[in-house]
Amino acid sequence: MAHLYHITSRICESPSKEPSNLGSGLGEEEVSVSFSGKISADEMPAVHAGNPGPEPKTKVKVIIIGAGIAGLRAASVLQRHGVEVVVLEGRDRLGGRIHTTRNDRGVPRDIGAAWLHETSQNRLVKLISSLKLDYYYDDGLPLYYTEQGRAGAQFKAKKVADEFADHCEWFYETHPDAPDQSVSDFINKFVQEHELITNDEKMWAPMAVKEVELWLGTSTELSSSKHLSYFITERNLYMKGGYDNIVKWTADSLKPNTIELNQIVDRICWDDKQKPCERKKTCAVECHDIHGEVSTFKGDAVISTLPLGVLRHGLVAFEPSLPDDLQRALTKFSYGALDKVFFEFADVFWSKDNDQFMYYPTPPLAAEDLYSTSAGSGS
């Protein structure tokens, strides 16, 4: 039987209502495609078709589904080591969740990914200088606003939120068997038991903690306090010139005609004993284009980078079916969702000393007190 992919996943068996960024060490399933010649996924030098690696002893063909950054990088590394590759992409563009558009003045808007996170560890940071990309660290002082207007210099809700993140890390290091709990529940407990913060800080700190929703794409009511500190401390770099530069650099390393756009995958056959996959190669991918024309691509292995939603909704058939543990895993994972709104101004009217505008909505209970007080004053 041919192997379909190389995947290492940590599967959380906990109910869906448990904190969403919590992972358990339930088990790991690892399946790999094997051929002559070592491949290191950690290699970061520029890889181009003109500088191929060693040819494998037996010619191997790999079909990669998806021309996002994962699929493109896999194709680049495989080609460097002499593996024949075809990349199938359902859309009419490259990049997947990296999607850069530009206005009529050429100013980029990254509708998808826009940041390099964890810059001390992120290997892509090495490309900034070599590709001469514009960038910006946005960790200057932010301006904080509430319903009452700009917060003053003594507005310390974010500092209390950072203190809470440190507390989470300490608590679970010293109490490793303690049950996880949502960020929302834990922060409310933390501020109520904290004897050295003001009533205003008790009210606003839970709002400040909600900044992690930008990282997780889900609410603090569902987010894990056990893993919160990871999302607080990292430094982040903004790609001013457009994230598509990274996509282009990766795609430019591929041989001509490697990528097939507008190929929507319908079925993946990965066992030559199963009909209707009668072929010499051990894997086949059936797809159709925007005109309904059907094509079949054959190879020795398939690397799938299909979106989780496509897999969960069964939009691609597998013959034979995926192993039970992987099917179970698909029901346990979830993606966060974020919306972006772009505001463009003719001039920079704010101080360049500040990098962010942060608006904290009034907590529901506090809002009730505020409006009842205002109503009483008006009468």
Query: In this structure, are 254 and 214 located in the same domain?
Result: no
Q: What percent of the chain has pLDDT over 70?
A: 77
pLDDT in the model for residue 53: 59
Are residues 260 and 199 part of one domain? no
228 and 81 share a domain?
no
Q: What's the full length of the chain, in residues?
A: 379
Residue 49 pLDDT = 43
Question: What pLDDT is stored for residue 237 in this prediction?
Answer: 92
Same domain? 268 vs 319: yes
Confidence of residue 270 (pLDDT cuts 50, 70, 90): confident
> Which pLDDT score is estimated for 44?
47
Residue 49 counted as domain residue: yes
Q: Is residue 115 assigned to a domain?
A: no
pLDDT at 373 over 80: no
Closest CA to 208 of 199, 196, 218, 220: 220
pLDDT for the residue 348:
87
Residues 318 and 370 in one domain: no
Structure tokens at 343: 């505001």
- Do 188 and 326 fall into the same domain? no
Q: Does residue 20 carry a pLDDT above 60?
A: no
Query: Tell me, what CATH number does 87's domain have?
Result: 3.50.50.60
Q: Is residue 207 part of a domain?
A: yes
Q: Are residues 192 and 291 in the same domain?
A: no
Show the domain range for 278: 1-105+243-344
pTM score, two decimals? Answer: 0.76
Q: What is the largest CA-CA distance in the chain?
A: 88
Q: How many domains does the chain have?
A: 2
User: Could you tell me how many helices (H) and strands (E) the chain has, helices first?
Assistant: 11, 16
- Are 153 and 208 contained in the same domain? yes
Lowest mean pLDDT among 46-60, 137-151, 317-331: 46-60
In a domain, 374, yes or no: yes
pLDDT at 229 over 90: no
Strand, helix or coil for residue 327: helix
Q: Is the pLDDT of residue 13 over 80?
A: no
Task: Note whether residue 127 is domain-resident.
Answer: no
Does 166 reside within a domain?
yes
User: pLDDT grade, residue 207 (50/70/90)?
Assistant: very high
For the chain, the average pLDDT equals 82
pLDDT at 366: 58
186 and 262 share a domain? Answer: no
In this structure, are residues 330 and 177 in contact, taking their beta carbons and an 8 Å threshold?
no
* Beta carbons of 219 and 183 less than 8 angstroms apart: no
61 lies in the same domain as 154: no
